[in-house]
């Protein structure tokens, strides 16, 4: 039994789908395939919902149009029959109409509840599953599919729901396992589930990997393959840092630390289950299935210095604030700050860095602050954060000092987050050059 997870931002044309098909054709194992939303769909759905709450119809209509265009363009690249494309077009029209009704309702009520947001976000996985299922059927692959909401039971903590392992085990035994009597391939969605009242929930951004782990745990599968756009895991994103060192094995401790600082390959809840139950996860490239792969495993390894690069962020900064006066009991002292900051408190994972000094509070988020009713003077778009993890602070600061001529050319904020963790906040236009320079330091360290 193998659990494999496909989808995400790299499924934008035919090539990953062709490789997906070849992988299944070459597999002899029973396989459960977990499908996640494609491209930037989830972020666009979230952005549209927030814009609707703020009465910004132009913004949410633009996001919705981008979602529709992306999927319509994609389906035309997959060499499918006219009948399949027409069927998809009808399906997509229905989904877009439903989403438009949601956003209009949110706009009228001027309220976006966590429950409604989960209903909206689930559309990304629904559309993705429809595309994958039709692609397999068009290529004569025999399979079954099951909606994840029938098997992944969670609590009522909308937007960050916690899985009910006992109930999930029961659901899988009763509803999923019997499907293997007629096929060796089963498709389902990641990210989404439902509570005891059968209401849609989501388990947090990037939690499709968690779905794969929940299935592996419940079905006693000891192997999970997560297909990404790079060969295994590196000390930095090789799409941004050309010669980043490859990591063949990584411990749960390092993976958990990296997840805490923005690495989307890992998810804290999934790591806890894998570590406890000795489930191995293989990270492979959908573009080169036979290339290098990284194994996430229980075996202890020494901590690996790593660099996480978070691009496309927005910064909101308040100057002239006496931070000693900031508390929930005296919001009237800085009403504008609290009004804007509360926009993000129900989704704290959207805040990627928070820095506080004597008279300044700044935070960086992956939400587009321009969509909100926030004064433009407080917002700085197009920002990045570089996290450097598991490093010796003395040697790292010496490297920065030795290369002061290089670093003095750029404007950035550097802060020590923990003893062996640094954060650098800077403009996205220079993040690649700075991260490649820092990679020189990482390459100089012993393996």
Is 176 found in the same domain as 321? no
Digitized pLDDT (tens) for each residue of the chain, 447 residues in all? 999 999 999 999 999 999 999 999 998 899 999 999 999 999 999 999 989 998 999 999 999 999 999 999 999 999 999 999 999 999 999 999 999 999 999 999 989 999 999 999 999 999 999 999 999 999 999 999 999 999 999 999 999 999 999 999 999 999 999 999 999 999 999 999 999 999 999 998 889 999 999 999 999 997 899 999 999 999 999 999 989 999 999 999 899 999 999 998 888 888 989 988 989 999 999 999 999 999 998 876 668 999 999 999 989 887 766 555 555 445 554 556 666 666 665 566 778 888 887 777 888 988 777 666 677 777 889 999 999 999 999 999 999 999 999 999 999 999 999 999 999 999 999 999 999 999 999 999 987
Residues 417 and 316 in one domain: yes
- 244 occurs within a structural domain: no
- Both 205 and 325 in one domain: the answer is no
Q: So what's the pLDDT on residue 321?
A: 60
pLDDT attached to residue 328: 47
Whether 272 is covered by a domain: the verdict is no
User: In sequence order, what are the residues at sequence separation of 6 or more whose Cβ sits closer than 8 angstroms to the Cβ of residue 213?
Assistant: 3, 224, 270, 273, 274, 279, 281
What distance in Å separates the CA atoms of residue 367 and residue 59, rounded to the nearest whole number? 13
Q: How far is CA 70 from the centre of its chain?
A: 18
- The CATH number linked to 162 is 3.40.1160.10
Please say which residue of 221, 255, 276 terminates a domain.
221
Total number of domains constituting the chain:
2
Residue 336 lies in a domain: yes
Are the C-beta atoms of residues 381 and 368 closer than 8 Å to each other? Answer: yes
The Cα angle at residue 89 between residues 84 and 95, in degrees rounded to 5: 125
Measured distance CA(350)–CA(339) in Å, rounded: 17
Q: For the chain, what percentages of helix, strand and coil (3-state, to nearest 5) are there? A: 45, 25, 30
Distance from C-alpha of 22 to C-alpha of 317, rounded to nearest angstrom:
49
| Dist. CA 185–CA 89, nearest whole Å | 26
Domain presence at residue 255? no
With H, G, I as helix, E, B as strand and everything else as coil, classify residue 421: strand
Contacts within 8 Å (CB) and 24+ apart, 430-435? 431/240, 431/309, 431/311, 431/384, 431/386, 432/240, 432/241, 434/386, 434/407, 434/410, 435/236, 435/240, 435/241, 435/307, 435/309, 435/386
Answer yes or no: are the C-beta atoms of 2 and 30 closer than 8 Å.
Answer: yes
Q: Is residue 288 part of a domain?
A: no
CATH number for the domain spanning 339: value is 3.30.2130.10
248, part of any domain: no
To which residue do tokens 């989960």 refer? 118
User: Do residue 83 and residue 189 come from a single domain?
Assistant: yes
b vs e for 347-365, b when ≥16 Cβ sit within 10 Å of the residue's Cβ?
Answer: beebbbbebeeeeebbbbb
The domain boundary residue, chosen from 221, 247, 281: 221
| Pairwise CA distance, residues 268 & 264, whole Å | 10
Residues 217 and 310 in one domain: no
Nearest partner of 387 among 350, 348, 352, 344, judged by Cα = 352
In DSSP terms, 387 is beta-bridged to 308, 423
Report how far residue 94's alpha carbon sits from residue 70's, in angstroms, rounded to the nearest whole number.
16
The boundaries of the domain holding residue 395 are 306-444
Structure token pair of residue 172: 């899988």
Q: How many CB atoms lie within 10 A of CB 320?
A: 7
Q: Nearest-5° angle of CA 105, CA 123, CA 84?
A: 125
Same domain, 311 and 212: no
Return d(Cα 84, Cα 81) in angstroms, integer. 5
Answer whether 284's CB lies under 8 Å from 225's CB: yes
Structure tokens, 327: 């508390």
Q: In terms of domains, do 32 and 165 share one? A: yes
Look at residue 285 and tell me if it is in a domain: no
Q: Is residue 275 part of a domain?
A: no
Q: What is the pLDDT of residue 307?
A: 97
Which of 188, 221, 254 is the C-terminal boundary of a domain?
221
């Amino acid at each position: 039994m193998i659990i494999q997870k496909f989808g995400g931002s790299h499924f934008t044309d035919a090539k990953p789908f062709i490789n997906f098909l070849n992988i299944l054709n070459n597999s002899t194992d029973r396989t459960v395939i977990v499908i996640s939303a494609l491209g930037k769909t989830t972020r666009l759905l979230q952005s549209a919902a927030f814009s609707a709450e703020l009465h910004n119809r132009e913004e949410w209509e633009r996001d919705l149009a981008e979602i529709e265009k992306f999927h319509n363009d994609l389906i035309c690249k997959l060499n499918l029959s006219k009948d399949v494309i027409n069927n998809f077009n009808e399906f997509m029209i229905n989904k877009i109409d439903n989403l438009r009704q949601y956003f209009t309702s949110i706009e009228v009520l001027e309220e976006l509840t966590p429950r409604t947001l989960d209903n909206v976000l689930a559309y990304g996985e629904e559309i993705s599953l429809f595309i994958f299922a039709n692609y397999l059927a068009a290529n004569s692959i025999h399979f079954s599919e099951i909606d994840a909401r029938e098997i992944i039971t969670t609590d009522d903590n909308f937007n960050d729901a916690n899985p009910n392992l006992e109930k999930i085990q029961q659901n899988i035994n009763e509803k999923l396992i019997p499907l293997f009597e007629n096929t060796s391939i089963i498709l389902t969605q990641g990210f989404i589930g439902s509570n005891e009242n059968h209401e849609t929930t989501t388990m947090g951004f990037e939690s499709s990997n968690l779905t794969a782990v929940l299935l592996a745990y419940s079905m006693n599968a000891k192997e999970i393959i997560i297909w990404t756009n790079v060969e295994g895991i590196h000390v930095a994103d090789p799409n941004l840092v050309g010669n980043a060192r490859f990591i063949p094995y990584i411990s749960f401790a390092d993976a958990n630390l990296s997840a805490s600082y923005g690495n989307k390959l890992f998810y804290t809840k999934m790591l806890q289950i894998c570590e406890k139950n000795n489930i191995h996860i293989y990270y492979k490239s959908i573009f080169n299935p036979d290339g290098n792969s990284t194994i996430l495993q229980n075996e202890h390894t020494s901590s690996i210095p790593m660099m996480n690069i978070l691009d496309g962020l927005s910064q909101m900064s308040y100057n002239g604030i006496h931070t000693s006066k900031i508390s929930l009991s005296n919001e009237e002292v800085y009403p504008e700050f609290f009004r804007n900051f509360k926009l993000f408190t129900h989704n704290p994972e959207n805040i990627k860095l928070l820095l506080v000094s004597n008279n300044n509070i700044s935070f960086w988020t992956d939400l587009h602050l321009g969509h909100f009713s926030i004064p433009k003077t407080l917002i700085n778009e197009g920002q990045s954060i570089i996290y450097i993890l598991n490093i010796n602070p003395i040697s790292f600061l010496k490297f920065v000092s030795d290369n002061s001529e290089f670093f003095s050319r750029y404007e950035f904020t550097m802060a020590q987050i923990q003893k062996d963790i640094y954060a650098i906040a800077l403009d996205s236009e220079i993040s690649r050059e700075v991260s490649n320079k820092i990679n020189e330091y990482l390459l100089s360290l012993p393996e």
